[in-house]
Each structure stands twice: as structure tokens, then as C-alpha cells.
Amino acid sequence: MDDASHSIGAGEFKARCLKLLDEVAQTRQPLIITKHGKPVAQLTPLPPKKSPFGLMAGSVLYEGDIISPIDVEWNANK
């Protein structure tokens, strides 16, 4: 792989595909695949997987006890 341009010909990519996949995953740098010198595809690493734990933190508002009776008598009770 050419480190200066981060591109590789399709034939060389085909021959070294599995190793190049590992390199892109490790370095987090995209790789442009060319055919006859023209870019045709880009191999990019997936974003890191985030844990779902804590994603909703701070999104819930506590309003107190909404089930217990209130001190005010309603007209419907009369």
C-alpha cells in the first residue's frame, strides 16, 4: 500500500484484500482503490461501536409522585 496517497490498484487490492482490510481497521485510514489510475471505490473503517449503556442519560425529567392523591378537592368529587 502506498502510504503517501493511500491508494492501490484493483489488481493489487484483489491479491492483498484480507491484509488491507486489517490495515484499514487498525490505522483507521481510508484506502482508495483505483482501476487504470482512476479512483473507483473507497474502503473506509466503520465507526467504533458505541455501548447502548448511558445513551438516554439526562433525557428523563422527574416530576415527583404523579400517582398519590393531591390535597386539592376536585369539583368532580362533589
Virtual torsion, Cα 19, 23, 24, 30, nearest 10 deg: -100
Least confident of 7-11, 30-34, 37-41, 63-67: 63-67
CATH code for the structural domain at 1-46: 3.40.1620.10
Mean pLDDT of 29-35: 97
- Asked if 1 and 8 touch (Cβ cutoff 8 Å), the reply is yes
Q: What gap in Å lies between CA 35 and CA 56, rounded to an integer?
A: 45
User: Can you give the pLDDT at residue 36?
Assistant: 96
Which residue did the predictor score with more confidence, 69 or 29?
29
Q: What gap in Å lies between CA 24 and CA 53, rounded to an integer?
A: 28
Q: Helices then strands (H, E): number in the chain?
A: 1, 3
Which of the four pLDDT bands, split at 50, 70 and 90, describes residue 17?
very high
Distant-in-sequence, close-in-space partners of 12: CB < 8 Å, separation ≥ 6: none
